[in-house]
């Protein structure tokens, strides 16, 4: 699908969402109180929960209603009337699992849901089509079955059913490992998690009684999101930079039920000119600013026009965008990618309403996921006013070190991705020779799933190339990754050539291994702009009946260019 078509579809979907989802459902702050990732009560079983608030969840089609009534797993859920024809579909891409056998469960409240709901589960051994009785089940977890999973599992549900039931709900999925936890993979890049601390500027960072004082003196550096136009805004930004951490703007945005998000906020009644003036003033007023995330914003982050203006101002300054995901239907991350920004989105909130023990469990299990999927982003948000969060971070630091998991600033975790079926603004993808589009796609919370590029029987021809040309916002040393669709006939002889004004280097990529993660190709110097290319070709392929794949490449800023001492972001 072409970029223009992607943008048109995105805008249509978003405006449809606005018409249905902007209803009152409760206070919209930057955290959810529920613990969503972690061991079970026995603390001896690997267990992960994916909610509708998480990055891997999306609506593929249909008009779903945002709900905050009755029981629910976390902050809200979605429902749709039915039965329908199967045209309305919702999907979870559960990413980053250790290999093993899992019990998969859904959460539902007691209601007149379908007696024969239709679920599809895609896992290691293929596609499973299920008929599930959801009708008047007690509000709790209910089994979909046991499935073998290797890194990713895709679960889709549609609005088609034939039995009793008048509506369908989607809320959360829980994955419990039944087999022994596998050994974590060996990687060139250390397993890591990224943490952003929100609401900075609201308290004095130099006061030892404040949690942020302790956070800034931890043995690792984090990103701190500073709110504009507050009493401690300026001193907070300076203190963060002085102590070697990263500063971003924590931009206040109107929530569905909070009309005034605070000083320097963006509200629904603003014109686009006013939005631009506000965001520009705030970005320029925060010293050492490397990027931005949203404070609240469940209303504004659903609006493509206002978010586009914000992202344009970030792009002018070569800054990144981190989507706090205070609403499932945010368009911020997708639009940031379309605009070619370095971008990312929150996976979890770690505060647990100030409960230190629960906060430690959240951090610990995010780190455990990073051990088993080190090249997938694992990004968390905490808050500078929670003593429990500060204590949890301090106490868990030795444990993380013993696990071999590092804590990074956001700028070291966020990425620029170019796909065969999606290219950010100014980037491109080209197939030369016998390459063709193939619907066998690699599922990931980071990727679209339109198509991959495939060279069938790659030894049968020569000089066939698939060329990714990223348009980067700045130069520097970037860690380069590639991924491809699962295929038992994939070649072990793919040649990938990195061509930039600074380097021309080729590496051999073995695509016959199971794509449990992004494959790390190395660290290379890239230039700002589009004068860079990553070329997949079949010049080394001599084994017949093997296929060469090119699905996506990912670049993560790692360091300044040799000879430069300037870290781009802070």
pLDDT at 5: 38
Q: Under a CB-based contact definition with an 8 Å cutoff, are residues 162 and 380 in contact?
A: no
Query: Could you give the angle at the alpha carbon of 54 between the alpha carbons of 49 and 57, nearest 5°?
Result: 95
Q: Under a CB-based contact definition with an 8 Å cutoff, are residues 90 and 58 in contact?
A: yes
Mean pLDDT of 108-114: 94
pLDDT at 516: 58
pLDDT at 150: 87
- Measuring CA to CA, how many Å separate 278 from each of 119, 229, 264? 45, 11, 6
Output the pTM of the full model: 0.91
Mean pLDDT of 392-401: 98
367 backbone φψ class: left, alpha, beta (φ>0; ψ -120 to 50): alpha
pLDDT at 569: 66
CA dihedral 398, 400, 405, 406 (to 10 degrees): -60
pLDDT at 39 over 70: no
DSSP 460: G
Question: Residue 239: what are its φ and ψ, rounded to 5°?
Answer: -65, -40
Under the banding of pLDDT at 50, 70 and 90, the label for residue 535 is very high
Q: Percent of the chain at pLDDT above 70?
A: 90
CA dihedral 436, 442, 444, 448 (to 10 degrees): 20
CA distance 210 to 204: 7
Greater confidence, 256 or 14? 256
284 backbone φψ class: left, alpha, beta (φ>0; ψ -120 to 50): alpha
pLDDT at 70: 66
pLDDT at 19: 34
CA distance 279 to 367: 34
Q: How many CA atoms lie within 13 A of 221 on its CB side?
A: 16
Bridge partner list, 432 = 465
Q: Which residue has the tokens 């267990």?
A: 47
Greater confidence, 20 or 523? 523
pLDDT at 319: 96
Sign of the alpha-carbon dihedral angle for 400, 405, 411, 413:
negative
Under the banding of pLDDT at 50, 70 and 90, the label for residue 440 is confident
Under the banding of pLDDT at 50, 70 and 90, the label for residue 44 is low
State pLDDT tens for residues 257-277.
Answer: 899 999 999 999 999 999 999
Under the banding of pLDDT at 50, 70 and 90, the label for residue 213 is very high
Contacts of 88 (CB under 8 A, 6+ apart): 59, 61, 62, 63, 64, 80, 82, 158, 159
pLDDT at 427: 97
State pLDDT tens for residues 166-196.
Answer: 999 999 999 999 999 888 888 889 999 999 9
pLDDT at 26 over 80: no
pLDDT at 30: 37
Under the banding of pLDDT at 50, 70 and 90, the label for residue 33 is very low
Domains of the chain with CATH codes: 3-16+30-180 (2.60.120.260), 192-416 (3.20.20.370), 422-559 (2.60.120.260)
pLDDT at 568: 65
DSSP 497: E
End-to-end CA distance of the chain: 36
CA distance 308 to 315: 10
Q: Which residue has the tokens 């079970």?
A: 40
CA distance 342 to 147: 35
Under the banding of pLDDT at 50, 70 and 90, the label for residue 513 is confident
Least confident range of 21-30, 40-49, 388-397, 486-495: 21-30
pLDDT at 533 over 80: yes
Q: Strands 167-170, 476-483: parallel, antiparallel or unpaired by DSSP?
A: unpaired
Taking each helix axis as running N to C, give the angle between helix 3-21 and helix 304-316, from 0 to 180 degrees, rounded to the nearest 10.
Answer: 130
CA distance 429 to 211: 47
Q: Which two tokens stand for residue 128?
A: 């499973």
pLDDT at 37 over 50: no
pLDDT at 55: 92
State pLDDT tens for residues 459-474.
Answer: 999 899 999 999 999 9
Least confident range of 153-167, 425-439, 555-569: 555-569
Average pLDDT over the chain reads: 90
pLDDT at 80 over 70: yes
pLDDT at 570: 55
Mean pLDDT of 372-396: 96
Mean pLDDT of 560-568: 78
pLDDT at 517: 74
CA distance 553 to 13: 27
CA distance 483 to 500: 20
CA distance 312 to 322: 14
Q: How many CA atoms lie within 13 A of 451 on its CB side?
A: 12
Whether a cis peptide bond, with omega within 30° of 0, leads into 83 is: yes
Mean pLDDT of 310-320: 97
- 544 C-beta neighbours (distance < 10 Å), count: 9
pLDDT at 358 over 90: yes
Q: Which residue has the tokens 């444990």?
A: 399
pLDDT at 40 over 80: no
Least confident range of 54-68, 175-189, 482-496, 506-520: 506-520
Q: Percent of the chain at pLDDT above 90?
A: 80
SS3 283: helix
Least confident range of 29-38, 208-217, 314-323, 349-358: 29-38
Mean pLDDT of 36-51: 63
């Amino acid at each position: 699908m072409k970029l223009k078509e992607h943008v048109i579809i995105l805008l249509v979907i978003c405006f449809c969402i606005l018409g249905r989802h902007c209803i009152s459902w409760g206070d919209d702050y930057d955290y959810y109180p529920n613990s969503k990732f972690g061991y079970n009560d026995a603390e001896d079983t690997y267990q992960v929960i994916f909610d509708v608030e998480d990055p891997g969840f999306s609506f593929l089609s249909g008009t779903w209603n945002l709900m905050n009534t009755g029981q629910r797993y976390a902050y809200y859920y979605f429902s749709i009337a039915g039965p329908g024809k199967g045209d309305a579909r919702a999907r979870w891409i559960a990413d980053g699992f250790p290999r093993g056998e899992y019990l998969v469960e859904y959460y539902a409240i007691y209601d007149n849901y379908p007696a024969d709901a239709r679920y599809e589960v895609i896992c290691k051994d293929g596609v499973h089509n299920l008929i599930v009785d959801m009708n008047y089940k007690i509000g709790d977890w209910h089994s979909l079955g046991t499935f073998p999973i290797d890194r990713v599992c895709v679960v889709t549900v549609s609005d088609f059913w034939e039995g009793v039931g008048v509506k369908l709900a989607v809320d959360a999925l829980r994955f419990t490992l039944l087999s022994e936890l596998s050994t974590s993979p060996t990687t060139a890049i250390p397993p890591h998690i990224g943490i952003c601390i929100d609401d900075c500027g609201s308290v004095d960072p130099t006061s030892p009684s404040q949690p942020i004082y302790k956070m800034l003196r931890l043995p690792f550096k984090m990103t701190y999101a500073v709110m504009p136009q507050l009493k401690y805004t300026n001193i907070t930004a300076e203190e963060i930079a002085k102590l070697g951490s990263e500063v971003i703007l924590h931009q206040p945005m109107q929530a569905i039920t909070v009309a005034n998000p605070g000083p320097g906020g963006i509200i629904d009644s603003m014109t686009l000119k006013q939005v631009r003036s506000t965001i520009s003033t705030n970005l320029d007023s925060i010293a050492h600013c490397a990027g931005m995330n949203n404070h609240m914003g469940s209303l504004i982050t659903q609006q493509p026009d206002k978010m586009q203006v914000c992202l344009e101002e970030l792009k002018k300054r070569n800054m990144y965008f981190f989507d706090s995901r205070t609403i499932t239907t945010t368009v911020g991350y997708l639009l940031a990618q379309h605009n070619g920004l370095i971008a990312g989105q929150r996976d979890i909130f770690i505060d647990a309403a100030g409960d230190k023990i629960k906060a430690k469990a959240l951090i610990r299990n995010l780190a455990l996921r990073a051990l088993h999927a080190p090249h997938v982003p694992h990004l968390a948000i905490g808050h500078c006013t929670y003593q429990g969060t500060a204590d949890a971070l301090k106490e868990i630091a030795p444990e993380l070190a013993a696990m071999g998991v590092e804590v990074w600033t956001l700028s070291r975790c966020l990425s620029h991705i170019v796909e065969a079926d999606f290219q950010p603004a100014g980037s491109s993808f080209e197939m030369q020779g016998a390459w063709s589009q193939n619907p066998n796609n690699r599922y990931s919370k980071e990727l679209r799933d339109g198509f991959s590029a495939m060279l069938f029987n790659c030894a049968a021809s020569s000089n066939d190339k698939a060329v990714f040309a990223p348009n980067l916002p700045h130069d520097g040393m970037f860690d380069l990754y590639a991924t491809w669709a699962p295929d038992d006939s994939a070649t072990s002889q793919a040649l990938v050539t990195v061509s930039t004004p600074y380097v021309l280097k080729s590496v051999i990529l073995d695509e016959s291994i199971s794509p449990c993660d992004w494959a790390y190709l190395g660290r290379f110097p890239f230039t700002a702009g589009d004068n860079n290319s990553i070329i997949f070709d079949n010049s080394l392929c001599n084994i017949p009946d093997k296929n060469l794949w090119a699905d996506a490449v990912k670049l993560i800023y790692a360091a300044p260019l040799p000879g430069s001492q300037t870290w781009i972001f802070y």
